[in-house]
Amino acid sequence: MRQIFIDTSAYFALADEEDKNHQTASGKMQKLIRERASFTTTNIVIADPHTLTLKRIGYKTALEVIERIYSSQIRIYRIREADEKKALDIIRKYTDKDFPFVDALSFAVMEKLHITQACAAASMAHPTHVPE
Q: What is the pLDDT of residues 4-15, one digit of tens each?
A: 999 888 888 888
Q: Name the class of domain 3-79+116-129.
A: alpha beta
Better pLDDT: 120 or 103: 103
Domain boundaries, the chain: 3-79+116-129
For strand 38-42 and strand 3-6, is the pairing parallel, antiparallel, or unpaired? parallel
pLDDT tens track for 25-59: 888 888 888 999 999 999 999 998 889 889 989 99
Q: What is the mean pLDDT of residues 122-126?
A: 47
Contact 76, 41 (CB under 8 A): yes
Query: What span, in angstroms and rounded, lies between the C-alpha atoms of 17 and 21?
Result: 9
pTM of the model: 0.82
Q: How far apart are CA 109 and CA 41, in angstroms?
A: 9
SS3 119: strand
* Separation between Cα atoms, residue 53 and residue 46, nearest integer Å: 11
